[in-house]
């Protein structure tokens, strides 16, 4: 056979294979979803806020996976833990990528490990996280956690009405201490927190409808601002966000690097990262890795602690049972410590139930498959944006029976012991800081309940109701509420003062 004939035969075979692939792909139906309009798809049906509730409603109509299309963007919402396990855990090798998001890149968050594409750069960043925050390494951070929580107890004692601000300061201090080792109350610490809060706010703005148009239809970014409101919106947002992100990354990095040069750097994750760096490329990578952890830890841990305080106020019977467990195991002569954790299962269950009822990320960070997949007879197209609806999974009546009831003992029963882990994500994209986050929440809750009673505020002889409302765009945070915080006894006051003196 001549070379021309061979080429022709190969071309015919390739064309036939391509045709068969296209025919098979078309023969596999897409998952069900709400009816789509020509060109616009589901654009006009997309929720403007509390998207997790609308996605959950669609799930009740169309099933545990729901297909949506808005302009050029295909999306798949996963509403059940079973489907998430099959698609994101068991098939993690195919679904660990992130969808292309122009807006995230433009606002300076594109190199965040949470948004990196699945590949070598992500693996290097992930390895750095795992070395520092795997279960065996987490205890090395206890010395940075305990003094901050002991200080929180003192602040609760002296100024209980300002408890929300005290919690914010506590989380900030822990995060800065672990990541960078310098004082959160210094000017540098305050500047870092201001920049981080600004960067997080910009990230949330990037998910609002005006900015999301750029995500749904990327060519909009090329339009001049005077011609497109969406283009003008994202241009201003990108400029503001990049300024915050630059400070968030550079300020603490430069401080620690200078301290190392002077021989004055205290222990911190940034110091250990720089000790391992062998190139400028390593330093740039590690600078980003540390800032990403700091931002995520500050925001989600704060959300978790606010949620815990809220539930302590709303469910006094849960508080009393947890205190009885602490009293029986720890006694009145010392504060709980991490070594007590295995002996306090109900306290662990309170944290798990809080994370279930109030997952900090009600919609998990998106995944994207690197090739077409089939799930339960439906096509999951390559590149589709997969949105894990963690809220729907946490409020699944088939799993929990009474999902709207705060009942920690459910996690002491049957197969639910580790079910709360879905709040931290799935597959190879699961939150790398989950073990540290759980440890912080545990130590805070144990210390607070050992020393304080958290009660509803009384006005005119009547208890003030605590509605338990939440706000937020990406991270769900309990709205501000009032409560009364009083020490449980005189000996509890002595414990608080003594622990602070020892620090």
Least confident of 6-20, 319-333, 391-405: 6-20
- pLDDT tens digits, 269-293: 999 999 999 999 999 999 998 998 8
Q: Where are the alpha helices (DSSP H) in 363-433?
A: 390-394, 397-400
**Mean pLDDT throughout 164-188?**
94
Q: Name the pTM for this structure.
A: 0.89
Instruction: Tell me which long-range contacts 97-102 makes (C-beta under 8 A, separation of at least 24).
Output: 97/367, 97/368, 97/369, 97/370, 98/365, 98/366, 98/367, 98/368, 99/366, 99/367, 99/368, 99/383, 99/384, 99/385, 100/218, 100/383, 101/215, 102/214, 102/215, 102/218, 102/221
Residue 202 vs residues 188, 242, 279: alpha-carbon distances, Å: 21, 9, 31
What is the pairing mode between strands 462-463 and 458-459?
A: antiparallel
Which residue ranges make up the annotated binding site for heme? 431
- pLDDT tens digits, 354-384: 999 999 999 999 999 999 999 999 999 999 9
- Rounded CA-CA distance 363/49 in Å is 12
Placement of tokens 């946490």 in the chain: 394
Tallying the residues shown for the chain, one arrives at: 503
**Where does the pLDDT of residue 467 fall: very low under 50, low under 70, confident under 90, or very high at 90 and above?**
confident
- What pLDDT score was predicted for residue 3? 47
Are the C-beta atoms of residues 363 and 207 closer than 8 Å to each other?
Answer: no
Placement of tokens 């195919």 in the chain: 94
- What pLDDT score was predicted for residue 420? 72
Mapping DSSP to helix (H, G, I), strand (E, B) and coil, where does residue 413 land? coil
Which class is domain 31-502?
A: mainly alpha
Are the C-beta atoms of residues 445 and 347 closer than 8 Å to each other?
Answer: yes
Residue 46 vs residues 52, 54, 70, 129, 490: alpha-carbon distances, Å: 11, 9, 8, 35, 55
Which residue ranges make up the annotated binding site? 431
299: its two tokens:
């925001």
Per residue, the 3-state secondary structure of 273-289, as one string, reads HHHHCCCHHHHHHHHHH
450: its two tokens:
């050992």
Percent of the chain beyond pLDDT 70? 89
Q: What is the CA radius of gyration of the chain?
A: 25
- What pLDDT score was predicted for residue 19? 39
Question: What are the extents of the domains in the chain?
Answer: 31-502
- What pLDDT score was predicted for residue 230? 52
């Amino acid at each position: 056979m001549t070379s021309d004939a061979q080429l022709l035969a190969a071309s015919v075979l390739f064309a036939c294979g391509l045709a068969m692939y296209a025919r098979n792909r078309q023969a596999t139906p897409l998952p069900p979803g709400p009816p789509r309009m020509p060109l616009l798809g589901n654009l006009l049906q997309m929720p403007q806020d509390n998207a997790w509730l609308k996605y959950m409603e669609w799930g009740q109509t169309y099933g545990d996976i729901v297909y949506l299309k808005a302009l050029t963007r295909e999306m798949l919402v996963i509403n059940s833990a079973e489907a998430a396990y099959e698609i994101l855990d068991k098939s993690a090798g195919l679904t660990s990528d992130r969808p292309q998001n122009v807006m995230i890149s433009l606002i300076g968050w594109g190199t965040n490990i949470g948004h990196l594409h699945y590949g070598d750069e992500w693996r290097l960043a992930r390895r750095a996280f795992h070395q520092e925050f795997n279960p065996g390494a987490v205890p090395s951070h206890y010395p940075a956690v305990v003094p901050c929580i002991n200080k929180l107890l003192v602040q609760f004692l002296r100024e209980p009405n300002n408890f929300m601000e005290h919690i914010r300061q506590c989380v900030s201090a822990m995060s800065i201490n672990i990541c960078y080792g310098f004082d959160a109350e210094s000017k540098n610490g305050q500047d870092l927190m201001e920049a981080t809060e600004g960067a997080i706010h910009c990230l949330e703005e990037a998910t609002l409808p005006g900015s999301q148009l750029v995500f749904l239809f990327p060519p909009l970014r090329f339009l001049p601002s005077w011609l497109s409101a969406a283009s003008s919106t994202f241009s201003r947002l990108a400029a503001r966000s990049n300024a915050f992100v630059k400070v968030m990354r550079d300020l603490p990095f430069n401080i620690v690097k200078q301290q190392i040069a002077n021989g004055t750097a205290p222990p911190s994750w940034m110091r250990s990262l720089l000790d391992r760096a062998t190139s400028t490329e390593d330093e740039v990578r590690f600078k980003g890795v540390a800032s990403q952890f700091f931002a995520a830890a500050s925001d989600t841990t704060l959300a978790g602690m606010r949620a815990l305080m809220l539930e302590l106020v709303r469910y006094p019977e849960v508080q009393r049972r947890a205190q009885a467990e602490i009293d029986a195991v720890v006694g009145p002569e010392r504060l709980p410590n991490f070594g007590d954790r295995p002996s306090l299962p109900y306290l662990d269950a309170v944290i798990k139930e809080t994370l279930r009822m109030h997952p900090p990320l009600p919609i998990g960070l998106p995944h994207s498959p690197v090739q077409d997949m089939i799930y339960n007879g439906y096509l999951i197209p390559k590149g589709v944006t997969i949105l894990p609806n963690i809220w729907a999974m946490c409020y699944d009546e088939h799993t929990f029976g009474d999902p709207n009831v705060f009942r920690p003992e459910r996690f002491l029963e049957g197969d639910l012991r580790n079910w709360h882990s879905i709040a931290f994500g799935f597959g190879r994209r699961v939150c790398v800081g989950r073990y540290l986050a759980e440890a912080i929440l545990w130590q805070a809750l144990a210390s607070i309940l050992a020393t304080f009673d958290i009660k509803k505020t009384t006005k005119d002889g009547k208890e003030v109701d605590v509605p338990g409302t939440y706000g937020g765009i990406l991270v769900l945070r309990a709205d501000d509420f009032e409560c009364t915080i009083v020490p449980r006894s005189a000996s509890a006051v002595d414990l608080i003062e003594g622990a602070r003196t020892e620090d």
